[in-house]
Amino acid sequence: MINNAANRTLNQTVSNLPNVGSAIIKWFVSMSFDVVTKTSVNYQIKETIVKTPFQGVWMPLTAREISYKPDGQRDWKWFRCYSDPSLILNNDDVVTKDGVQYRVSGLWPYDEYGYREYQLVEDYTGKGPDEVVE
pLDDT 10s digits, 48-91: 888 999 999 999 998 888 887 777 677 788 899 999 999 999 99
4-18 mean pLDDT: 57
Q: Which DSSP state fits 24?
A: H
With a CB cutoff of 8 Å and minimum separation 6, the contacts of 19 are 112, 113, 114
**Smallest Cα–Cα separation from 96: which of 58, 39, 61, 40?**
58
Q: What is the pLDDT of residues 15-58, one digit of tens each?
A: 566 677 677 778 899 999 999 888 888 888 888 888 999 999 99
Tell me, yes or no, whether 39 lies in a domain.
yes
Tell me, yes or no, whether 45 lies in a domain.
yes
Please name the helix (run of DSSP H) or strand (run of DSSP E) that holds residue 42, with its range, or none.
none
**Smallest Cα–Cα separation from 85: which of 23, 35, 29, 25?**
25
Tell me, yes or no, whether 7 lies in a domain.
no
Amino acid code (one letter) for 109: P
> Rounded to the nearest 10 degrees, how much is the dihedral formed by the CA atoms of 72, 73, 77, 80?
-170
pLDDT at 8 over 60: no
Tell me, yes or no, whether 103 lies in a domain.
yes
Q: What is d(CA 92, CA 75) in angstroms, rounded to the nearest whole number?
A: 19
pLDDT of residue 131: 44
Q: What range does the domain containing 24 cover?
A: 14-124
Tell me, yes or no, whether 63 lies in a domain.
yes
Tell me, yes or no, whether 133 lies in a domain.
no
pLDDT of residue 71: 72
Count CA atoms within 13 Å of residue 2 on its CB side. 3
Total domains in the chain come to 1
